[in-house]
Each structure stands twice: as C-alpha cells, then as structure tokens.
Structure 1
Amino acid sequence: MLFDCDGVLADSEGLVNRIVAEALTARGWRMTGEQARETFLGMALPDMVPVIEARTGPLPPRWGRELSERIARALREEVEPIPGAAAAVRAVAAAGIPVACASNSARLELVAKLERLGLAALFGPRRMLSFEEVPRPKPAGDLYRAAAAACGADPADCVVVEDSLLGVRAGLAAGCRVLGFVRETEAAILAGLGAEPFFAMEALPGLLGLGSPEGRSDC
C-alpha cells in the first residue's frame, strides 16, 4: 500500500503554500498562499525552480535547501493529520500489508511530517521516499516503482492513495491501482484520469477488501 503524504496523510498544504508564498514575495514575485497552491500543487522543488526563476531570475545556490529547512521546522511544530489517515495506515499495516510513503517533498520535509504524525516508525527509513531518492519526481512513475520495490512488491500488485493530478498520473505510470482521495481535486477530475475516487480515509480499509481475501491487494 503506497501513500502520498501532503493532502493524504498530512494536512500540510496550506502551511507549506504560505511559506512558499512568503519566500517568493520576498524575492519580488508577490503571491498569496492560495496562488502558491494553484501554481505548484503536487510539484517537487526541482520542477518548481525553473518556474520561479522565470519570474525572479536565478536563485541563490542554497535557496531550495534553506526553504526546505524553514518548511521542515514549521511542519514539526504545526502540521496536523488528515482526519482518519493515521488510523487507516495503521489498520492496513496491522492486516499484514506492507506500507510506504512516496512524496514529491524534500526528504527533510517528509521526515518532519511523518514524525509529527507519529507514522515515521511505522514506515521506517527505507519506505519513506522523497523526490531525492529517484531520478524523476511525480508525475513520472519512479517514486511509486521505488516504493513498491521497498515493500518487496510488484507495482501491479500495489494500491496508491493520491489526491493530486500529478500524483495520480505517477501512480498510473508506475502500473499501480490508484485510489483518488477527494479533497483538493474534484472527484470527476480524479476519475477522468483513471483513479477511483473516495471521500473519507475511514473508508480505505473497506476499499482494500481487508475483510474479504478475494478483494485484498498485496501492497
């Protein structure tokens, strides 16, 4: 079972978007948190940088690292879970299904979020994957193929939980079944890409058929 993080496990997008907006406004690209969400939703930092530099000019060499450090500090103090998400992950793991988290976040940010939510030990270091662990971030399938490998599973036997267009495309590109958590993106849009929409994390164990062996996924 392969989980995205932002918007799926961690209610972090508003916080992160606010910090990104503040950082870009300081460099001359005036932006609100909502505008940051519309511009960068689901994007990894390497894909954000060319967009930013087209508006602000070249960024200092450590700008991305310093932004990640600032975000990670805030996440450790402020981020809250998506309702029902932690219990759903624990229910899946308790059923003997390997779990991994694959995020377009920097690793520093991803670890901060999962530690704050009390899920880092459940995933373990090898099954917390950021864009830094793979050649290409989402929407390429690299992250979910790597997450499946970390679980010892074939991607075709894995289920991905995603909430963004880039994430859904990544899961499908990896060859996984994708469940689309309806939050930031409308159900019809997720379904149009090929995801199976659902509306509450409490429904996740049932969608995996944990009570019926014939419906159960391997990962």
Structure 2
Amino acid sequence: MDRARAGLSGLGQPGGPAQADGGKRRGMTGFKAILFDCDGVLLDSEPLGCASIAQAMTAVGVAMTTDEAAALFCGHSAAASLAVIARAGLDPHAVADHADRILFSMFEQEVPLMAGVERVLWGFDVPMAVCSNSLVRRLDRSIARTPLARRFGGHIYSAEQVPAAKPAPDLAFFAAARLGVSPAQAVFVDDNPHGLRCGIGAGCLAIGFVGPTEQRADHARSLAQAGADHVVHGMDELHALLSRLSLPDAA
C-alpha cells in the first residue's frame, strides 16, 4: 500500500491563501448571536475522530498515526475527507463507515465536552447555533446526546443542510437566518482556519479557538493568518473576550 500512502501526500490542507489582514481586530458594539463549530470547540472530540480514522486507514493497509490523520482530515467536510481517501486508491465509503463505527463506539463510552464550555454557553443571553461540517448522523451521536444540546434549542446545523460546506459561508448565513440575526451581528467561533473562513465570508466577527489538547505549536498563528479577528486559548479566554465584546463600548 505504499502507493496508496503516497497518494495522501499534500492532501487535506486548507485551500487558498491566508487573508492579508490575519489577526486584524474589528470592533463590535455587542453581539446578537454566537455560532459555534462543534468538534474542537464545544466538544473535545477531535482526538477521538482522528484516532478513529487512523485506525480505519490502518485496517486497510495504510498505516497512519492519529497526528497524521489530524493533518489530513481535521475539521474538513465529509465530502473532502472522502476525496482524500479515494485519492489513496481506497473505497472511501467503506473506510468512512468503519471509522464511524469506531468513533460511535467511543461516543457510547463518553462524549467529551470542552473544559469550561458550560460557563460560556449559559453565560450569555443570546441565541446560539452549532455550525459543523460533520454529517447529521455524527451530530446526532455526539453533541445531541449531551446536556449542551438543550442550550441550542434545535439550532444544530450540519453542512449537509446547505449547498456548500465550510470554508464556503453558506452554513454561517443559514444559521444566522434561522436565528433571525444578520451575520454581521454574530460571533463565529471555530478551531480551524478553513472553518473560520466560513464565518469571515459571511461577515461575522471571527474568533479562532485553540483548545487545551491542541498539539500543533503554530496553530494560533494559523488561525490569525486565516483572518481571525481574535484568537483565544481555552474557554476561560473565550468567556473573557465575549464578556468584553458584549459591552456597549466594546472595541
């Protein structure tokens, strides 16, 4: 399977140049909604997702570590991930189904919440939505089974529900419309550069999130280069930033 493994080289990287104004901070006089990515922001589940795809790839002869799976698949849409697998000469649906079975078995044991997430979700009296590239079936087996689900009141949205997944802005436009706000009045929180571009493209104030289990040393810089207005490390920093942004004279 060396040829298949070689076919993975260079795949899975976000497309397009970094925004020239990466790290630029825009002011916001309050906000009327918050849009969250799911895996890696609300749930500390990306390590599990990467482990499951690594195991599934290894099972069909393409030895892969969790870190390698993260570099190739982390945060990408299901369609993009299937394309990566297909380019390796594998049956993408068979591999993805195997990875899902592994992941859902892990979720039966525990759906890991991001540390401090409850304080953020219940700390601000504005409508909130989940904007995820994950398939509906994965959201149903993950966040929908946690106590966090009730905070969103049914506003848990998958890229399956819009014409184009992140980094296209469709999902942010869709969620904001469902919440009854303009995207310009919304904060968009994501832990991946191409995910942030979804919120940026819709006109949201974009916050790059670096979780406590993030292993990539340059990840905060990547988020800033993608155009994040702010980059935070963990939920305590996110809560503090949102508290400041919610003030009438926030800048």
Normalised by the length of structure 1, the TM-score is 0.87
Contact 1:15/1:79, CA 8 A, preserved across alignment: no
Whole-angstrom distance in 1 between the partners of 2:104 and 2:153:
18
Which residue of 2 is the match for residue 150 of structure 1?
A: 178
Is 1:99 matched up with 2:133?
no
* Equivalence map 1:14-163=2 (5 Å): 14-60=47-93, 64-65=96-97, 67-92=99-124, 95=125, 97-125=126-154, 127-163=155-191
Whole-angstrom distance in 1 between the partners of 2:96 and 2:233:
34
Deviation at 1:72, TM superposition (A): 3.1
Give 5+ residue unaligned stretches, structure 2.
Answer: 1-33
Which residue of 2 is the match for residue 166 of structure 1?
A: 194
Which of the pair has more CA radius of gyration? 2
Deviation at 1:64, TM superposition (A): 4.0
Q: Which one has a larger percent helix, Structure 1 or Structure 2?
A: 1
More contact order relative to length (CA 8 Å, sep ≥ 6)? 2
Is 1:200 matched up with 2:234?
yes
Whole-angstrom distance in 2 between the partners of 1:101 and 1:152:
15
Whole-angstrom distance in 2 between the partners of 1:6 and 1:17:
11
Matched positions, count = 211
Whole-angstrom distance in 1 between the partners of 2:97 and 2:74:
19
Is 1:13 matched up with 2:46?
yes
Q: Which amino acid aligns with 2:67?
A: E
Normalised by the length of structure 2, the TM-score is 0.76
For residues 124-152 of structure 1, give each alpha carbon's deviation from its aligned partner in whole angstroms, at most 9, with x where no partner exists.
22x10112111111111111111111111
Q: Which stretch of structure 1 is more off in the superposition, 207-216 or 72-81?
A: 207-216
Whole-angstrom distance in 1 between the partners of 2:162 and 2:97:
17
Q: Which amino acid aligns with 1:213?
A: P
Which residue of 2 is the match for residue 212 of structure 1?
A: 247
* Identical columns (%): 36
Q: Which stretch of structure 1 is more off in the superposition, 69-78 or 15-24?
A: 69-78
Give 5+ residue unaligned stretches, structure 1.
Answer: none
SS in 2 for 1:11: coil
